[in-house]
């Protein structure tokens, strides 16, 4: 590792989170571990392996490239691609034994140019229903009737029928209840299909933890695997964040009252102050929206001041710290913590945006509980 900025991923916490969720679910419900977007910044292959060992039955990704990466790493579990792929990529999906999300009859029509009905392998699909998120999926009976003949083809297996909720984390559950009602109605449509559907699923992390009665045949667990969940709303389960982010002071300087810090003179010192420079910036995913948040310098809080630049940011130090002092941007230092949900609140987002935005310039160090950083660096360090 050549750079003084790194992320640490606690694999033990990921495994324990999956085990905790697995025990929370009804015994008959399968668990899909969602590892898209490089497992929300935690590392897709490493997270997938831990999740599978902890009891995950399926893996979920966003794009075919992510699925192929998992297959090439030796993962054999069923993988569902949650975003529809281009029809001409169907042969590639069959080659890697991947399940596809489908949303329209015209997709099948185009796909047939690339997969004859009498081809050797069957294509496993999950039909996405749009019950109110307004993103992708079938919304009307007419759309469903158009796709039914294609789903009934002898080389197609309908492994799943699913939807996704828009407001599962909100206190007002009225819109969630409307979506549930719509999905129940759409499930009745599925009786038109002359073949069985293997899995009905509607719950992501928050819905599965808040409303276990929505578990159905399978749940799709993404954010909760990484310790991101509404703790105030879900009190009967305890999950732990697995991601921390660190750097070191590369320079410490004493500025006089009235001097400027950063581009556009965005900050002016009000007194004589110690300013520290940290080698992380928006090209690493630490967006300029993080201005005025805090970091921990050897356990002491220090505010980010001035505009965050591409490779560096500056902090207002409460006292002198020598160059090389450890800086924690996410995680614990001494008795203090920087939590992702508080950072997310600052930028008007969610915890998973924070971690998934950390770019591949930041090395990931994978460690297990009780293992030193040095041991982890020797055995499991990934630079993308």
CA atoms within 13 A on the CB side of 17: 26
Give bridge partners of residue 65 from the DSSP assignment. Answer: none
Residue 287 DSSP class: -
* Three-class secondary structure of residue 15 per DSSP: helix
Catalytic residue among 30, 36, 128, 316: 36
Q: Is residue 135 a known part of a binding site?
A: yes
Neighbours of 262 (CB within 10 A): 18
Q: Is 263 a catalytic residue?
A: yes
Answer whether 280's CB lies under 8 Å from 6's CB.
no
Gap between the Cα atoms of 296 and 334, Å rounded: 9
Tell how strand 313-317 and strand 381-382 pair up: unpaired
Q: Is residue 310 a known part of a binding site?
A: yes
Q: Is 36 a catalytic residue?
A: yes
CA atoms within 13 A on the CB side of 312: 12
* Three-class secondary structure of residue 20 per DSSP: helix
- b/e string for 149-163 if b means 16 or more Cβ within 10 A? ebbeeeebbbbbbbb
Catalytic residue among 96, 121, 260, 263: 263
* Three-class secondary structure of residue 9 per DSSP: strand
Report the catalytic residues: 36, 263
Task: Provide the annotated binding site for substrate.
Answer: 135, 310
Task: Provide the annotated binding site.
Answer: 135, 310
């Amino acid at each position: 590792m050549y750079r003084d900025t790194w992320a640490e991923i606690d694999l033990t916490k990921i495994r324990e989170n999956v085990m905790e969720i697995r025990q929370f679910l009804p015994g008959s419900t399968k668990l899909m571990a969602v590892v898209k977007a490089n497992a929300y910044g935690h590392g897709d292959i490493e997270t997938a392996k831990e999740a599978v060992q902890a009891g995950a039955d399926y893996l979920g990704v966003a794009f075919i490239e992510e699925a192929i990466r998992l297959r090439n790493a030796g993962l054999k579990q069923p993988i569902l691609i949650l975003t529809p792929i281009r029809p001409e990529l169907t042969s590639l999906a069959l080659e890697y034994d991947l399940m596809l999300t489908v949303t329209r009859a015209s997709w099948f029509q185009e796909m047939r140019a690339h997969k004859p009905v009498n081809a050797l392998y069957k294509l496993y699909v999950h039909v996405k229903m749009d019950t109110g998120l307004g993103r992708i999926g079938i919304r009307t009976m007419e759309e469903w009737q158009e796709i039914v003949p294609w789903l009934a083809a002898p080389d197609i297996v309908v492994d799943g029928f699913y939807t996704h909720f828009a407001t599962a984390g909100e206190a007002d559950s009225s819109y969630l209840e409307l979506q549930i009602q719509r999905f129940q109605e759409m499930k009745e449509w599925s009786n038109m299909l002359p073949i069985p559907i293997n899995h009905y699923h509607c719950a992501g992390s928050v819905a599965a933890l808040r409303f276990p009665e929505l578990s159905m045949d399978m749940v799709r667990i993404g954010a909760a695997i990484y310790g991101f969940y509404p703790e105030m709303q879900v009190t009967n389960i305890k999950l732990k964040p697995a991601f921390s982010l660190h750097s070191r002071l590369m320079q410490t300087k004493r500025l006089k009252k009235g001097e400027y810090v950063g581009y556009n003179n965005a900050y002016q010192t009000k007194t004589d102050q110690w300013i520290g420079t940290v080698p992380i910036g928006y090209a690493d995913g630490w967006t300029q929206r993080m201005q005025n948040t805090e970091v921990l310098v050897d356990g002491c809080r220090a505010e980010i001041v001035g505009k965050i630049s591409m490779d560096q940011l500056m902090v207002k130090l409460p006292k002198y710290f020598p160059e090389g002092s450890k800086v924690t941007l996410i995680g614990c230092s001494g008795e203090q913590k920087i939590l992702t949900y508080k950072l997310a609140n600052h930028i008007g987002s969610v915890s998973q945006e924070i971690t998934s935005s950390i770019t591949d310039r930041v090395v990931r160090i994978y460690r297990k509980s009780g293992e030193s950083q040095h041991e982890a660096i020797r055995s499991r360090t990934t630079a993308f």
